[in-house]
Amino acid sequence: MLHVQEEEMNTSPPDSKTQPLGRRERNKIKIKERLYTAALELFAEQGYEQTSVDEIAERADVARGTFFNHFQRKEDLISTWGERRRERLVAIMTDAFPDQAGAVDSLRRCMAILGRINEEEHERAAAMLIAWVKAGRPLTEEPYVAELFAEIIEEGRKNGELRSDILPQQVGNVLRDIYLGTLYRWFREVEVEPNGRLEQELLQALELLLNGITARA
């Protein structure tokens, strides 16, 4: 599983002869990481729109111009956050899936992991989710979570665990809608402690989809 995501993460072939980074390159990486960390701290403390580039540079202890050496604009921090979240999700799921895991079990694991990731970094995730929506990213970005769900659904179709007449991409989009809708409602609460409730709600919503809502005789 997860072939699409793993391929997209590996944008260049491994090179065993790659030379270690020099001091200058290492310093660039450190400064960029400082800026990124400072930005996310400020976004969580006072909001994305209320945070200026000057404040990010000051928190990172660099000149304002240094920010633009690493990010063309503040909005690029949203892209970086999204990419890192994606890489983390794929890495966790790759480790969490046994080779013989069925589609239903894989869907449950996926929802559980999504819930835990958001609960672990609640304040930061809430601030970045607001920024992500206001920047219009839900409309412009590729729905990689839906693609992940669709891949699992396709595997379930192939092995006979799921109905053969369902459309994997359509079901993947429905599951993504369930995930984001649940996430939006969860973040609307004023004080939310990471107590596992998000994970529980996501799993309950998944079971509702799997079992349907039609009364059985």
What is the pLDDT, as a whole number, of residue 122?
Answer: 86
- Domain end point (choices 37, 57, 73): 73
Residues in the chain: 217
Cα dist from 79 to 7, 18, 22, 181, whole Å = 19, 27, 26, 21
Each residue of 58-91: pLDDT tens digit? 999 999 999 999 999 999 999 999 899 888 888 8
Answer whether residue 17 is part of any domain: no
Residue 207 and residue 109 in one domain:
yes
- Domain end point (choices 73, 90, 114): 73
Residue 121 and residue 176 in one domain:
yes
Model confidence pTM above 0.85 = no
CATH code for the domain of 94: 1.10.357.10
Answer whether residue 102 is part of any domain: yes
Q: What's the number of domains the chain is made of?
A: 2
Residue 79 and residue 162 in one domain:
yes
The DSSP code for 164 is T
Answer whether residue 161 is part of any domain: yes
122 closest CA partner among 17, 23, 40 = 40
pLDDT band of 9, cuts 50, 70, 90: very low
Residue 57 and residue 96 in one domain:
no
pLDDT band of 11, cuts 50, 70, 90: very low
**Helix 168-188 crosses helix 122-134 at what angle (to 10 degrees)?**
120
- What span, in angstroms and rounded, lies between the C-alpha atoms of 36 and 82? 12
Residue 58 and residue 88 in one domain:
no
Q: Which residues form the domain of 178?
A: 75-217
Answer whether residue 172 is part of any domain: yes
Answer whether residue 9 is part of any domain: no
Residue 197 and residue 133 in one domain:
yes
> Would you state the structure tokens that stand for residue 176, as one six-digit string?
């993504």
The amino acid present at 46, given as its one-letter code, is: Q
Residue 51 and residue 156 in one domain:
no
- What span, in angstroms and rounded, lies between the C-alpha atoms of 17 and 19? 6
Residue 53 and residue 115 in one domain:
no
Each residue of 177-190: pLDDT tens digit? 999 999 998 888 75
> Would you state the structure tokens that stand for residue 120, as one six-digit string?
């672990």
Cα dist from 58 to 26, 35, 38, 50, 146, whole Å = 21, 9, 9, 15, 38
Residue 108 and residue 194 in one domain:
yes
Answer whether residue 4 is part of any domain: no
Contacts of 181 (CB under 8 A, 6+ apart): none
The average pLDDT across 14-19 equals 52
- What span, in angstroms and rounded, lies between the C-alpha atoms of 187 and 182? 9
- Domain end point (choices 51, 73, 95): 73
Residue 84 and residue 147 in one domain:
yes
Residue 51 and residue 118 in one domain:
no
Residue 83 and residue 61 in one domain:
no
Answer whether residue 130 is part of any domain: yes
Each residue of 91-140: pLDDT tens digit? 888 776 666 678 999 999 999 999 999 998 888 888 999 899 988 888 88
Answer whether residue 14 is part of any domain: no
- What span, in angstroms and rounded, lies between the C-alpha atoms of 55 and 209? 45
CATH code for the domain of 42: 1.10.10.60
Phi, psi of 74 (to 5 degrees): -60, -35
* HSE-up (13 A, CA, CB side) for residue 110: 29
The DSSP code for 141 is S
- What span, in angstroms and rounded, lies between the C-alpha atoms of 129 and 131? 5
